Protein backbone atom coordinates (compact mmCIF):
# COMPACT_ATOMS: atom_id res chain seq x y z
CA UNK A 1 0.00 0.00 0.00
CA UNK A 2 2.86 2.42 0.76
CA UNK A 3 4.34 1.71 -2.68
CA UNK A 4 0.96 2.32 -4.33
CA UNK A 5 0.58 5.61 -2.47
CA UNK A 6 4.09 6.66 -3.47
CA UNK A 7 3.37 5.83 -7.11
CA UNK A 8 0.07 7.76 -7.04
CA UNK A 9 1.68 10.80 -5.41
CA UNK A 10 4.55 10.82 -7.91
CA UNK A 11 2.04 10.48 -10.75
CA UNK A 12 0.21 13.51 -9.33
CA UNK A 13 3.51 15.42 -9.25
CA UNK A 14 4.23 14.52 -12.90
CA UNK A 15 0.70 15.52 -13.93
CA UNK A 16 1.05 18.86 -12.13
CA UNK A 17 4.38 19.50 -13.82
CA UNK A 18 3.12 18.59 -17.30
CA UNK A 19 -0.09 20.59 -16.95
CA UNK A 20 1.71 23.66 -15.68
CA UNK A 21 4.42 23.36 -18.33
CA UNK A 22 1.97 23.13 -21.21
CA UNK A 23 -0.11 25.98 -19.81
CA UNK A 24 2.82 28.38 -19.49
CA UNK A 25 5.38 27.53 -22.11
CA UNK A 26 4.35 24.47 -24.04
CA UNK A 27 6.84 21.67 -24.46
CA UNK A 28 9.76 24.07 -24.68
CA UNK A 29 9.13 25.69 -21.30
CA UNK A 30 8.54 22.32 -19.69
CA UNK A 31 11.80 20.93 -21.10
CA UNK A 32 13.83 23.93 -19.92
CA UNK A 33 12.46 23.71 -16.37
CA UNK A 34 13.07 19.97 -16.19
CA UNK A 35 16.61 20.30 -17.55
CA UNK A 36 17.52 22.95 -14.98
CA UNK A 37 16.05 20.90 -12.13
CA UNK A 38 17.86 17.77 -13.31
CA UNK A 39 21.16 19.62 -13.42
CA UNK A 40 20.64 20.97 -9.92
CA UNK A 41 19.84 17.56 -8.46
CA UNK A 42 22.33 15.44 -10.42
CA UNK A 43 25.29 16.65 -8.37
CA UNK A 44 23.38 16.28 -5.10
CA UNK A 45 22.36 12.70 -5.95
CA UNK A 46 25.89 11.52 -6.71
CA UNK A 47 27.49 13.37 -3.82
CA UNK A 48 24.70 13.35 -1.22
CA UNK A 49 26.47 10.95 1.13
CA UNK A 50 29.68 13.02 1.21
CA UNK A 51 27.78 16.28 1.64
CA UNK A 52 25.54 14.98 4.43
CA UNK A 53 28.34 13.28 6.36
CA UNK A 54 30.56 16.34 6.10
CA UNK A 55 27.70 18.59 7.20
CA UNK A 56 27.29 16.47 10.36
CA UNK A 57 31.05 16.07 10.92
CA UNK A 58 30.42 12.35 11.14
CA UNK A 59 33.23 9.97 12.08
CA UNK A 60 33.38 6.49 10.55
CA UNK A 61 33.67 3.53 12.92
CA UNK A 62 34.78 -0.04 12.29
CA UNK A 63 34.26 -3.56 13.70
CA UNK A 64 35.70 -2.53 17.05
CA UNK A 65 32.72 -0.22 17.71
CA UNK A 66 29.46 -1.48 19.23
CA UNK A 67 27.31 0.31 16.61
CA UNK A 68 29.12 -1.43 13.74
CA UNK A 69 28.55 -4.78 15.46
CA UNK A 70 24.82 -3.97 15.72
CA UNK A 71 24.51 -2.96 12.06
CA UNK A 72 26.46 -5.89 10.57
CA UNK A 73 23.96 -8.71 11.38
CA UNK A 74 21.04 -6.46 10.42
CA UNK A 75 22.57 -5.76 7.00
CA UNK A 76 23.08 -9.49 6.52
CA UNK A 77 19.43 -10.22 7.39
CA UNK A 78 18.30 -7.48 5.03
CA UNK A 79 20.50 -9.00 2.30
CA UNK A 80 22.33 -5.70 1.85
CA UNK A 81 26.04 -4.95 1.40
CA UNK A 82 27.58 -3.80 4.66
CA UNK A 83 27.14 0.00 4.74
CA UNK A 84 29.67 2.38 6.18
CA UNK A 85 28.80 3.21 9.79
CA UNK A 86 29.22 6.66 11.30
CA UNK A 87 28.87 8.37 14.66
CA UNK A 88 27.73 11.99 14.94
CA UNK A 89 28.75 13.85 18.10
CA UNK A 90 25.41 15.50 18.83
CA UNK A 91 23.22 15.49 21.96
CA UNK A 92 19.89 15.18 20.11
CA UNK A 93 19.12 11.46 19.70
CA UNK A 94 18.61 10.75 16.01
CA UNK A 95 19.80 8.62 13.10
CA UNK A 96 19.85 8.79 9.32
CA UNK A 97 20.86 6.91 6.17
CA UNK A 98 22.39 8.34 3.02
CA UNK A 99 23.92 7.18 -0.23
CA UNK A 100 22.67 6.84 -3.80
CA UNK A 101 22.32 3.02 -3.71
CA UNK A 102 22.91 0.04 -1.38
CA UNK A 103 26.48 -0.34 -2.64
CA UNK A 104 27.33 3.25 -1.62
CA UNK A 105 25.20 3.56 1.51
CA UNK A 106 26.08 4.92 4.91
CA UNK A 107 24.14 4.88 8.17
CA UNK A 108 24.77 7.14 11.14
CA UNK A 109 23.60 7.56 14.71
CA UNK A 110 24.18 10.40 17.12
CA UNK A 111 25.89 10.01 20.45
CA UNK A 112 22.65 11.20 22.06
CA UNK A 113 20.78 8.25 20.54
CA UNK A 114 23.36 5.73 21.76
CA UNK A 115 23.12 7.13 25.27
CA UNK A 116 19.31 7.22 25.41
CA UNK A 117 18.31 3.86 23.89
CA UNK A 118 19.09 0.32 24.92
CA UNK A 119 20.85 -2.07 22.54
CA UNK A 120 17.69 -3.58 21.04
CA UNK A 121 16.15 -0.14 20.50
CA UNK A 122 19.32 1.01 18.73
CA UNK A 123 19.14 -2.12 16.56
CA UNK A 124 15.51 -1.40 15.68
CA UNK A 125 16.39 2.19 14.72
CA UNK A 126 19.31 1.07 12.55
CA UNK A 127 17.05 -1.54 10.90
CA UNK A 128 14.72 1.35 9.98
CA UNK A 129 17.64 3.17 8.36
CA UNK A 130 18.69 0.04 6.47
CA UNK A 131 15.10 -0.21 5.22
CA UNK A 132 15.50 3.25 3.66
CA UNK A 133 18.60 1.93 1.89
CA UNK A 134 16.86 -1.23 0.70
CA UNK A 135 13.82 0.73 -0.50
CA UNK A 136 16.11 3.14 -2.40
CA UNK A 137 14.36 6.04 -0.77
CA UNK A 138 17.25 8.37 -1.60
CA UNK A 139 16.52 7.80 -5.30
CA UNK A 140 12.76 8.25 -4.79
CA UNK A 141 13.21 11.53 -2.93
CA UNK A 142 15.77 12.79 -5.46
CA UNK A 143 13.32 12.23 -8.33
CA UNK A 144 10.61 13.91 -6.26
CA UNK A 145 12.89 16.86 -5.48
CA UNK A 146 13.72 17.21 -9.19
CA UNK A 147 10.05 17.42 -10.15
CA UNK A 148 9.26 19.80 -7.28
CA UNK A 149 12.20 22.00 -8.30
CA UNK A 150 11.05 22.05 -11.92
CA UNK A 151 7.54 23.07 -10.86
CA UNK A 152 8.95 25.89 -8.72
CA UNK A 153 11.00 27.09 -11.67
CA UNK A 154 7.94 27.09 -13.90
CA UNK A 155 6.27 29.22 -11.24
CA UNK A 156 9.18 31.67 -11.46
CA UNK A 157 8.88 31.69 -15.23
CA UNK A 158 5.20 32.52 -14.81
CA UNK A 159 6.09 35.49 -12.62
CA UNK A 160 8.41 36.99 -15.22
CA UNK A 161 6.29 36.12 -18.25
CA UNK A 162 2.97 37.04 -16.70
CA UNK A 163 4.27 40.30 -15.31
CA UNK A 164 4.95 41.62 -18.79
CA UNK A 165 1.44 40.98 -20.12
CA UNK A 166 -1.52 43.30 -19.90
CA UNK A 167 -4.13 40.57 -20.38
CA UNK A 168 -5.92 40.04 -17.08
CA UNK A 169 -6.51 36.35 -17.73
CA UNK A 170 -2.80 35.76 -18.41
CA UNK A 171 -1.91 37.66 -15.26
CA UNK A 172 -4.32 35.52 -13.24
CA UNK A 173 -2.85 32.31 -14.69
CA UNK A 174 0.64 33.53 -13.86
CA UNK A 175 -0.39 34.35 -10.28
CA UNK A 176 -1.96 30.90 -9.78
CA UNK A 177 1.08 29.18 -11.29
CA UNK A 178 3.50 31.22 -9.21
CA UNK A 179 1.81 30.58 -5.87
CA UNK A 180 -0.38 27.51 -6.00
CA UNK A 181 1.72 25.10 -8.08
CA UNK A 182 4.95 25.26 -5.96
CA UNK A 183 2.91 24.90 -2.75
CA UNK A 184 1.06 21.91 -4.19
CA UNK A 185 4.36 20.35 -5.28
CA UNK A 186 5.84 20.86 -1.79
CA UNK A 187 2.79 19.23 -0.18
CA UNK A 188 3.07 16.22 -2.48
CA UNK A 189 6.80 16.00 -1.80
CA UNK A 190 6.21 15.94 1.97
CA UNK A 191 3.42 13.38 1.56
CA UNK A 192 5.82 11.08 -0.31
CA UNK A 193 8.38 11.53 2.47
CA UNK A 194 5.80 10.56 5.12
CA UNK A 195 4.79 7.51 3.09
CA UNK A 196 8.41 6.39 2.85
CA UNK A 197 8.75 6.69 6.64
CA UNK A 198 5.83 4.30 7.17
CA UNK A 199 7.40 1.92 4.67
CA UNK A 200 10.78 2.05 6.42
CA UNK A 201 9.12 1.42 9.80
CA UNK A 202 7.40 -1.69 8.45
CA UNK A 203 10.46 -3.10 6.71
CA UNK A 204 12.72 -2.15 9.63
CA UNK A 205 10.44 -4.12 11.95
CA UNK A 206 10.70 -7.06 9.57
CA UNK A 207 14.50 -6.84 9.44
CA UNK A 208 14.94 -6.68 13.22
CA UNK A 209 11.91 -8.78 14.17
CA UNK A 210 11.18 -6.31 16.98
CA UNK A 211 8.47 -3.80 16.07
CA UNK A 212 7.83 -2.94 19.71
CA UNK A 213 11.46 -1.99 20.22
CA UNK A 214 11.18 0.45 17.33
CA UNK A 215 7.91 1.75 18.80
CA UNK A 216 9.51 2.36 22.20
CA UNK A 217 12.51 4.02 20.53
CA UNK A 218 10.21 6.38 18.60
CA UNK A 219 8.37 7.28 21.81
CA UNK A 220 11.65 8.24 23.47
CA UNK A 221 12.96 10.08 20.41
CA UNK A 222 9.76 12.10 20.00
CA UNK A 223 10.11 13.81 23.36
CA UNK A 224 13.84 14.35 23.02
CA UNK A 225 13.50 15.84 19.52
CA UNK A 226 11.27 18.57 20.95
CA UNK A 227 13.52 19.32 23.94
CA UNK A 228 17.02 19.05 22.50
CA UNK A 229 17.98 21.29 19.57
CA UNK A 230 19.58 19.95 16.40
CA UNK A 231 22.12 22.54 15.22
CA UNK A 232 22.55 20.92 11.78
CA UNK A 233 18.81 20.94 11.02
CA UNK A 234 18.50 24.50 12.33
CA UNK A 235 21.28 25.67 10.00
CA UNK A 236 20.08 23.51 7.09
CA UNK A 237 16.29 22.96 7.26
CA UNK A 238 16.44 20.59 4.25
CA UNK A 239 18.36 18.12 6.43
CA UNK A 240 15.30 17.57 8.66
CA UNK A 241 13.87 15.01 6.24
CA UNK A 242 16.95 12.80 6.70
CA UNK A 243 16.31 11.81 10.28
CA UNK A 244 14.21 9.02 11.75
CA UNK A 245 12.42 11.63 13.88
CA UNK A 246 11.76 15.10 12.52
CA UNK A 247 11.00 18.28 14.40
CA UNK A 248 7.32 18.78 15.13
CA UNK A 249 6.43 15.15 14.39
CA UNK A 250 4.26 14.81 17.48
CA UNK A 251 0.51 14.98 17.93
CA UNK A 252 -2.14 12.55 16.78
CA UNK A 253 -2.44 13.57 13.13
CA UNK A 254 -0.03 13.55 10.24
CA UNK A 255 0.59 17.20 9.38
CA UNK A 256 0.39 18.12 5.71
CA UNK A 257 3.39 20.38 6.30
CA UNK A 258 5.70 17.80 7.87
CA UNK A 259 8.20 15.43 6.28
CA UNK A 260 7.50 12.85 9.01
CA UNK A 261 4.27 11.21 10.18
CA UNK A 262 2.96 11.81 13.68
CA UNK A 263 4.91 9.63 16.10
CA UNK A 264 1.68 8.30 17.65
CA UNK A 265 0.52 6.96 14.28
CA UNK A 266 3.88 5.31 13.64
CA UNK A 267 3.80 3.68 17.05
CA UNK A 268 0.23 2.46 16.53
CA UNK A 269 1.18 0.92 13.17
CA UNK A 270 4.15 -0.85 14.73
CA UNK A 271 1.99 -2.21 17.55
CA UNK A 272 -0.40 -3.59 14.94
CA UNK A 273 2.58 -5.32 13.31
CA UNK A 274 3.51 -6.80 16.68
CA UNK A 275 0.06 -8.39 16.81
CA UNK A 276 0.98 -10.32 13.66
CA UNK A 277 3.88 -12.81 13.90
CA UNK A 278 6.84 -11.54 11.88
CA UNK A 279 9.45 -13.64 10.13
CA UNK A 280 12.74 -11.75 10.52
CA UNK A 281 14.82 -11.67 7.36
CA UNK A 282 17.60 -14.20 7.36
CA UNK A 283 16.23 -15.98 10.42
CA UNK A 284 16.49 -15.08 14.08
CA UNK A 285 16.40 -11.63 15.63
CA UNK A 286 18.77 -9.34 17.43
CA UNK A 287 17.10 -10.25 20.69
CA UNK A 288 16.30 -13.69 21.99
CA UNK A 289 12.67 -12.53 22.35
CA UNK A 290 11.32 -10.97 19.17
CA UNK A 291 8.07 -9.05 19.54
CA UNK A 292 5.91 -11.50 17.59
CA UNK A 293 2.96 -13.63 18.62
CA UNK A 294 1.20 -11.28 21.01
CA UNK A 295 -2.55 -11.77 21.36
CA UNK A 296 -4.70 -9.52 19.20
CA UNK A 297 -6.10 -6.24 20.58
CA UNK A 298 -3.69 -6.16 23.50
CA UNK A 299 -3.07 -2.82 25.28
CA UNK A 300 -0.50 -0.42 23.93
CA UNK A 301 3.09 -1.46 24.62
CA UNK A 302 3.68 2.02 26.02
CA UNK A 303 0.96 1.66 28.65
CA UNK A 304 -1.55 3.79 26.75
CA UNK A 305 -5.05 2.82 25.59
CA UNK A 306 -5.40 1.91 21.94
CA UNK A 307 -6.42 4.87 19.79
CA UNK A 308 -7.88 4.89 16.29
CA UNK A 309 -5.64 5.69 13.36
CA UNK A 310 -5.85 9.45 12.71
CA UNK A 311 -3.72 9.71 9.61
CA UNK A 312 -4.78 11.97 6.82
CA UNK A 313 -5.67 10.12 3.59
CA UNK A 314 -2.10 10.50 2.31
CA UNK A 315 -0.52 9.50 5.62
In angstroms, rounded to a whole number, what is the distance separating the alpha carbons of residues 168 and 156?
18
Report the chain's C-alpha Rg in angstroms.
21
Q: Given this model, what pLDDT does residue 237 score?
A: 64
Q: Is 121 a known active-site residue? A: no
In angstroms, rounded to a whole number, what is the distance separating the alpha carbons of residues 250 and 287?
28
Q: Given this model, what pLDDT does residue 39 score?
A: 72
Q: Given this model, what pLDDT does residue 158 score?
A: 63
Q: Which of 129, 206, 264, 271 is catalytic?
A: 129
Q: Given this model, what pLDDT does residue 304 score?
A: 40
Strand partners, 107: 85, 97
Full pLDDT tens readout for the chain, 315 residues: 666 776 777 777 777 777 776 666 667 766 776 777 677 667 766 777 787 888 889 999 999 999 999 999 999 999 999 999 999 999 989 999 988 889 989 999 999 999 999 999 999 999 999 999 998 887 777 677 767 777 777 766 666 655 444 555 566 666 666 777 778 777 887 888 888 899 999 999 999 999 999 999 999 998 887 788 888 877 776 667 788 987 654 455 677 778 788 888 999 999 988 876 544 445 444 443 344 333 333 444 444 444 444 444 444
In angstroms, rounded to a whole number, what is the distance separating the alpha carbons of residues 142 and 38?
10
CA 21 to chain centre: 28
In angstroms, rounded to a whole number, what is the distance separating the alpha carbons of residues 218 and 122?
11
Q: Given this model, what pLDDT does residue 297 score?
A: 36
- Considering only CA atoms, which of 48, 134, 41 is closest in space to residue 99? 48
Q: How far is CA 177 from CA 20, 159, 181, 315, in A?
A: 7, 8, 5, 26
- Burial class of residue 38 (count of CB atoms within 10 Å of its CB; 0-12, 13-18, 19+): middle
The verdict on pTM exceeding 0.85 is: no
- Considering only CA atoms, which of 60, 52, 64 is closest in space to residue 132? 52
Amino acid sequence: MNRIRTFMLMAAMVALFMGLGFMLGGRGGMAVALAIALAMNFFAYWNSDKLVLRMHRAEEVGPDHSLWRIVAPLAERAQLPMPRVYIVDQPQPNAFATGRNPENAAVAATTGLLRMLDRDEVAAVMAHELAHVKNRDTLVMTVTATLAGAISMLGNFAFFLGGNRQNNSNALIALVAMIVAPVAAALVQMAISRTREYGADAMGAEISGQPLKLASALAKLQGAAQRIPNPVAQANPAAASLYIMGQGAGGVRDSLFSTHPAAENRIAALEMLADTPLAPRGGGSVSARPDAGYPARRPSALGLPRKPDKRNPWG
